[in-house]
Structure 1
């Protein structure tokens, strides 16, 4: 099925990272997802974990 050929089907493993942007930290994923800018690194990591878990 063509629907399964998208980036989510190709790599079901979501690899997340965090990146500093000035005073903020942003979580990003290899699928293209990007979390909101957070002042707390721990909250950006929580966002990334939630995304990877499919929440």
Structure 2
């Protein structure tokens, strides 16, 4: 199966400024806005907000 631009690879960066990132894919059709998820930040040992960077 070919990879296309309908599900691009995005990088989620911590809003706390630790530099921690997660890499995932998202659907542009279902989620056209920037993604914001609460994920675990191992440098802070707690959950924080991670925002999509482009």
Instruction: Please state which band the TM-score falls in when normalised by the shorter chain.
Output: under 0.3
* Larger relative contact order (Cα-Cα within 8 Å, sequence gap ≥ 6): 2
Which structure shows the higher helix fraction? 1
**Normalising by the residue count of structure 1, what TM-score does the alignment of the two structures yield?**
0.27
Which structure shows the higher strand fraction? 2
